[in-house]
Amino acid sequence: MQVLPAVCQLYPEVPLHYEEDHVDLSRPTGRWLWMVLPGRVYLVGPDERVYHSDNVTSLLRVYLELRD
């Protein structure tokens, strides 16, 4: 979780959202985004896929491999 601010600075095109932002994940967002919930960080893909890992750098690897 401590790595996330640095990742957001390196890849500002992936917005950061929190639970209180009420992002509707029931339909495709059309973009990548970080979702921070109590004690967890998720990477949400543009196609509604939700990725989770205890290691944010693993999620970053998923983004970098699938973004194009």
pTM of this structure: 0.89
Question: How many residues can be counted in the chain?
Answer: 68
Domain count, the chain: 1
> Which structural domain range is residue 42 located in?
4-19+28-66
Average pLDDT, stretch 6-23? 94
Look at the block and give the residue holding tokens 């290691």: 55
Percent of the chain with pLDDT over 90: 74
Question: Which DSSP letter does residue 28 get?
Answer: -
Percent of the chain with pLDDT over 70: 99
> Which tokens belong to 57?
């750098």
- CA 4 to mean position of chain CA atoms: 10
